[in-house]
Every structure is written in C-alpha cells, then in structure tokens.
A and B are shown apart, each in its own frame.
Chain A
Amino acid sequence: MLDKRFTRRVFLVSSTSCAALLGSLTRASADTYHGALPWSPDQDHAPVPVSESGWTYFTPAEAATIEALVDRLIPADDLSPGGKEVGIAVYIDRQLSGAFGQDKGLYMAPPFAEGLPGQGSQSPITPAQRYRKTIDALNEYCADAYFGKSFAQLAATEQDKIIVKMESGMLRLKGLSSKAFFQILWQNTKEGFFADPVYGGNRGMAGWKMIGFPGARYDYLDWVDRHNEHYPKPPIGIESHPDWSAHS
C-alpha cells in the first residue's frame, strides 16, 4: 500500500490520446500535470486488508512466542480480551513481512557507528531480523533456565518476570539488546491493539471500545460543544461497520 505512491498515475504519460489532446506534456518518465486539476475515475489507495489466517513471516514456534508475549503485555481482563485474541501477533506478523519489517524507506546506508542516544537508532538490523534473532535467543534462554521449556510454555508469573528483565535490559540474550527488543515489541503491541482492524489487530475494535475511541469517524460537528457528554456511537473501522448489516 505504501509503495503505490511511487508508481501511480503512470497512465498520464502512457496515454497518447491524452498527450495529443492536451498538447505535448510528456517528459520521459516525469509525471507531468498541465491544463487541469488532475483526477481520474476509480482511483482508490485504501489499505488492503491483511489475510486473516496463517503466518506470513513467523514460523509457528515464533508465532507462539509472540502470542504469549502480547498476552502478557495486554492481558485478558474485564477491560478487554487479551493480546492474542485481539490479533496483535497477527498484526506484528503482517508488519514484519511488509515494508516496516525491512526498514523500507529509512536511511540504511553505511557506515553504522555506535551513536549517542540523541542521535537515534543506528542499527543495521531490520525489525524482521531483530524479532527473529531475539525470539530465538529468548527461547534458548528459557530452555536453559526452565528445563527445556519455551517462553510460551512458562507460567504467566514467570513470563512476567522475564518481561520485566527485558524492559530494563537486564535479560542477557546472546549479545542482543533485550531492551531494544522490548521497546519495538511494546510499540508494535500498542499498534496491534489500537490500529485499524484492516491491519490484522484490534479485532472487534476491542482496543477502541476499551477507551471509547469512535475510530474512523469523520464528523463530530454536532458534538464539539456538547461538553462532558459521552459520545454515543460505537467505533467504526475503515472496513468495520457492524451497523451496516444490522437490519438484513
């Protein structure tokens, strides 16, 4: 979806009738606009919903680890279902197999030097690589420390203890920064809890319902000066509109 911006509207120069009618307006592969505000029918750059089942990046074992992690970060309780049930692992899987996982669009030219914290990340490791390597190291750590068990097989209290150690960077994972992994995992977990359901997480708009965010609505004109009143409508997503079919 993010890449469409680089390829769209090539039709403008491929249409010779267009050029003939409107005068010479082509410049090799430049997208050239001249004579009228450009518009063409049937254009749609809406996000394409991710596939609902299977894994696109994780192996089943990696997926089980992430599902266990997100279920502790966002546990099921009276406020919402847990991270696994709302699809956070699915969300992360789809992100890692997409542009985000490859650091697409970021400046990734060498040399990679150790910088000051204020200079931002200087790591050549992509998010996809970081997940794979760290999950592997984490399960190796668990196998050593818990008699061959993987992270997903541990009791919740043990899992929480490990997460606390990761958060502070105290967990030693074969030279990988457990803190850097925690940070990206937690950021992606929040995304999977709160991003539009088209991306695979936030199933049933559970994250939005928890806080009372109405989602992809675009018109509160009648509500801006109704202070201290709960907005009454349930959330909607880009492709999530339960009330459209409520009266079928």
Chain B
Amino acid sequence: MLKTASTKPLLGITAFTLTTALGNGQAENLSQLQLGESGLRENDLGYINLPTWFGQVDGVSEQQLPAGLAAWKCRNNQLLELGLLQDGFLDACAKLVARYGADRIGLFVGTSTSGIQAAEDAFKERSINGSELDFNYLQNHNMYSAVSYLRKRLGISGPGFTTSTACSSSAKIFAVAHRHIQAGLCDAAIVVGVDSLCQMTFHGFNSLQLLSAKPCRPADQSRDGISIGEAMAAAIVEPFDKRSEACLLGYGESSDAWHMSSPHPEGAGAIRAMHVALTMAGLSAEQVDYVNLHGTGTQVNDLVEDRAMSAVFGQQAVVCSSTKGFTGHTLGAAGLVEALISVLAVKHEFFPISANTLTLDAQINAQINLPGSSQKPAGPKIIMTNSFGFGGSNATLILAGGYR
C-alpha cells in the first residue's frame, strides 16, 4: 500500500459516510462522481432572492429526529441525522461503543454556521409579528449543538467539542482526533463535518461578491465565484489495523497571518500546511498521486492555491481537481467531505474530475483533471486534500488506502 518504509499510518478509518448534493451515502456519491454529474441546481428557494446555484441535499426538511431530541430540530441537525442513517454508520458507532466503552470515544464536529437557520426564522418571525424571539439557542444556533445532539444520539461521554475555523473546520478534526488519541484521552473518535444551507452564508458571500450566478467552475478561465453547498460527512478513526478501510498519513495546519478574507498572495500559509503534512507523513511531493484542491472557483483563491501547488510540487505532474463543481462549497463540512471523496477515489481506483471546468485558465499550471479526459490506467494510492478558510486558517490532509 505504502511507498516508503518511513510512512506509518497515524490513524485508520474503519467506517465512513457522506451525504451531499450528489446523494445520500457512499454509493450514490461514488456513482455521480464517476459519471461526472454535478449535483448543483439553479436557485429555486423561496427565501433566497439571489441569482445563484447551490448544492442541496434532498429530504433534509422532512427528516425526523428521534423522540426526546425534538429540541435539537433545525436544518443542520436534520442533515446530521439523515447522514447518520446512511452506510450503516449508526451500527458502526454502536459497535465502537461496545468495543472501547462510551467514555473512551472522542467526538469532534466541524461546522461553520451550526443551526443558525433556526435563529434566522426566529428573527424573521419577530420582525413580522413583533413577538419575542422563540428558538432553542443552545440546541440549534450554538456551535456545540451537533456535539450535544450526537452525545445523546450515540450515547458517548468521552472528550468532544466543535471545531469552527470557517472552511477548514472539518479538515482540522482529524488532527484533533489524532492528538487526543495520542495523548491517551480517548482510544478512538468519531469525526463529523456538517453545514447546511442558510440565508446568512448566501447573503454574506454575496456581500463579498464571491457568489457566482452560474454553477461554480473551479480553475476555469470564466470562473466568477462559489456555489454554496450543504453536506454531512462522518468517519470513525481508530489505531490503524486490519479493519481499516483507509488511513491518515499526515496533517498540516497553518495560519496565513495576512488578511481576514483574502488568502496570502503567494499562498505562503497553504505552502506551509502542505509541507508540514508531507513532513509528518514522511513523504516527498512526488509520492502524492492526487490532490483534491480547495478550489472554490473564485478568481483569486484558485490562482493563489495554484501558486502554492507550484511551490510544493514544482514541475511534477500530479493529477488535481476541485470537487466543488459536484457538491458546491460545503463550507465547514468541506474538509471531511473532500477527504472522504478522496478515500472513495483510492478505494474505487479513479481520479475525480473537475466538474463544470470547461476551459482551463491559462494562468493555472496544475494538471487539472478536466471533464472528458481519459481515465488513468491505475487509480491514486496516496492523496492530499487542501482546505483553506477565512481568518487565514489552513489545513492539509494526506490519506491512503486501508490494510491490504
């Protein structure tokens, strides 16, 4: 599986699931990724009056929560629950509790906006009726909402918290889980990324002129912004062994120390994150087979990430793509969604294309896997995935396949 003797898995992934605009669970996501079918659709939301496209998960607003957890009902936790029901993930969590004990399992969630959509509805209601604000702040809007929900839903009492570093949130929880396991605070962990559609992100990104009126087109010469998506992704991480379906080889975290909403012009923070991850994995850049780019589809972000890629990979032709043309930018969930898309790519031996990218920007040097390009003879073995967020928060993960 691994190309160098110095490379040692930090953690094994023994179960995982993802629910995105492409579908619910591994199989539906895999099928759309292999077909090259984008999950983005044109805005038909009654409550968003903006020309835009987005990645919506079907069935979220109909999703029921178990009896006793009604106070947690909001779009983000409904999406969380829907995601838990896929790929036998709930059963895998129950087996994990039986294996290690409820107090020896860590629970780490990445989200950027939690259940703020419930507060949006309450503020709207107040503005119309002049009524008191009526919503469950702690169970919905508060950043800890998903963790408190999952503690009750899964019966877990080990260490746990929410990581919220904008669009790198759920990439960083692999690092958190590894540190907690290494320090002996827990033996295994459940890591979850979840973010759902809300007015705040649509209007916020629109105010920064970062929202495209068309489906987002990462690395395309005509790219003009992001498409927002919603998603839930989850994985169980344990010490690497025969049961592992994939493994974490390294992670790198860095700060841009540059600007709150624009990346460092030379991608200095991104370069640092990639270098730290490679060093930790004991790998050189040429050993990486595929990079899942952050690739949001804005003019500046894609160009800066490309500069960083050139600095790290030099002239080597590593296959790259952003999968945000498939799912939209799933914000706080993006790190884990894209890590798990990369795990699917390793497991099923294919290179995800850059959906919606028709004409590659001549200024982009990376070898972008364009739609219609011929499939490579062998799939990727070692993959890297980048996540960069507002506040200059960067995270890079390096993952590989499971025990063979």
A binds B: no
